[in-house]
């Protein structure tokens, strides 16, 4: 009813003034809509129901990425001349807080759905068949860098310890209190390496001594460093960043 009344009175005006009023109304509406969108951007994200939708979409994206993951598809490999030097340091803490792990007393602890869960010393791990890769590390922040990592194919290691390869997850606990977990399909990928060397040198502390799981098919934060313990499970283990909102699968 109101609208019709307004249209009626507007009709009495000349065309240019109608346009002017329309323009003013439109400007005001446009501005308030824009202000609403901008002002509430932060509150919108914190809203409980919005959070529910965003987390549900992230779980959906886990499934979409698992479906898209081709266990045969290899990440591009690069010549050694393409290696980024110096390779960037990255962690949830500063470089001055890098954890030192004692090589002599180190034991890799195994648990969960593993047949032979005896702990492994470093010389035992170094004696496993070694392979190298020069691949691109892509950070969740957007930057990327090419590095060279060497170690044992993770599939070979999982088979050696009698891990249940039909289980859903492999979880990792690290010396820097970092933790993460991956899907079994990625764990068995031919380029997923349990690495002990970076650029042909024993992994320096800042790159994750004594070992880093290297997966060129996942974002950087999914590649745990300073691994102290690993376990095979069917219960979703989450992760340090994943529990805060980074997508769990985070495949490349």
* Residue 158 · residue 187 · CB < 8 Å: yes
User: Which lies closer to another protein via its Cβ, residue 55 or residue 236?
Assistant: 55
Residue 117, helix vs strand vs coil: coil
Q: Please list the alpha-helical segments (H only) found in 13-115.
A: 15-39, 41-46, 48-68
**Contact stretch for another protein (CB under 8 A) within 93-101, 102-110, 174-182, 238-246:** 238-246
User: Which lies closer to another protein via its Cβ, residue 61 or residue 130?
Assistant: 61
Residue 201, helix vs strand vs coil: strand
**Contact stretch for another protein (CB under 8 A) within 44-52, 109-117, 152-160, 161-169:** 44-52
DSSP per-residue letters across 176-204: TS-EEEEEHHHHTSTT-EEEEEETTEE--
State the Cα–Cα distance between residues 209 and 93, nearest whole angstrom: 16
Residue from 53, 103, 156, 165 in contact with another protein (CB under 8 A) = 53
Sites for another protein among residues 125-144 (CB under 8 A): 136, 138-144
**Contact stretch for another protein (CB under 8 A) within 3-11, 123-131, 167-175, 198-206:** 3-11
Interaction of residue 100 with another protein, rule CB under 8 A: no
Residue 151, helix vs strand vs coil: strand
Interaction of residue 251 with another protein, rule CB under 8 A: yes
φ, ψ at 234 (rounded to 5°): -105, 0
Query: For residue 66, is the peptide bond before it cis, meaning its omega torsion is within 30 degrees of 0?
Result: no
Within the chain, how many helices (H) and strands (E) appear?
Answer: 7, 9
Residue from 35, 55, 124, 127 in contact with another protein (CB under 8 A) = 55
Q: How far is the CB of 92 from another protein (least distance, A)?
A: 12
φ, ψ at 241 (rounded to 5°): -85, -35
Interaction of residue 75 with another protein, rule CB under 8 A: yes
Interaction of residue 31 with another protein, rule CB under 8 A: no
Interaction of residue 76 with another protein, rule CB under 8 A: yes
Query: By C-alpha distance, which of 20, 75, 18, 42 is closest to 192?
Result: 75
Interaction of residue 9 with another protein, rule CB under 8 A: no
User: Which lies closer to another protein via its Cβ, residue 74 or residue 103?
Assistant: 74
State the Cα–Cα distance between residues 164 and 170, nearest whole angstrom: 10
State the Cα–Cα distance between residues 198 and 5, nearest whole angstrom: 77
User: Which lies closer to another protein via its Cβ, residue 30 or residue 119?
Assistant: 30
Residues that bind another protein (CB under 8 A): 1, 3-4, 7, 19, 22-23, 26-27, 30, 37-38, 41-42, 44-46, 53-55, 57-58, 61, 68-70, 73-76, 136, 138-144, 216-217, 241, 244-247, 251-252
């Amino acid at each position: 009813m109101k609208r019709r009344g307004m249209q009626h009175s507007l009709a009495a005006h000349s065309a240019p003034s109608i346009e002017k009023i329309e323009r003013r109304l439109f400007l005001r509406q446009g501005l308030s809509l824009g202000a609403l969108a901008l002002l509430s951007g932060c509150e919108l994200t914190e809203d409980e129901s919005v959070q529910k939708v965003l987390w549900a979409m992230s779980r959906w994206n886990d499934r979409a990425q698992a479906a898209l993951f081709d266990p045969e598809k290899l990440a591009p490999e690069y010549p050694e001349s393409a290696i980024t030097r110096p390779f960037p340091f990255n962690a949830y803490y500063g470089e001055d807080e890098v954890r030192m792990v004692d090589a002599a007393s180190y034991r890799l602890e195994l648990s969960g759905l593993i047949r032979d869960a005896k702990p492994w010393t470093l010389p035992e791990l170094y004696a496993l068949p070694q392979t190298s890769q020069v691949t691109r590390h892509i950070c969740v922040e957007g930057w990327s860098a090419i590095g060279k990592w060497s170690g044992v194919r993770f599939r070979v290691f999982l088979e050696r310890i009698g891990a249940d390869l039909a289980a859903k997850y492999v979880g990792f606990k690290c010396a820097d209190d970092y933790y993460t977990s991956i899907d079994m399909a990625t764990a068995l990928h031919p380029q997923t390496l349990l690495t002990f060397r970076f650029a042909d040198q024993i992994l320096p502390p800042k790159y994750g001594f004594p070992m880093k799981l290297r997966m060129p098919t996942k974002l950087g934060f999914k590649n745990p460093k300073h691994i102290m313990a690993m376990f095979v499970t069917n219960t979703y283990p989450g992760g340090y960043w994943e529990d805060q909102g980074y997508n769990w699968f985070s495949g490349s």
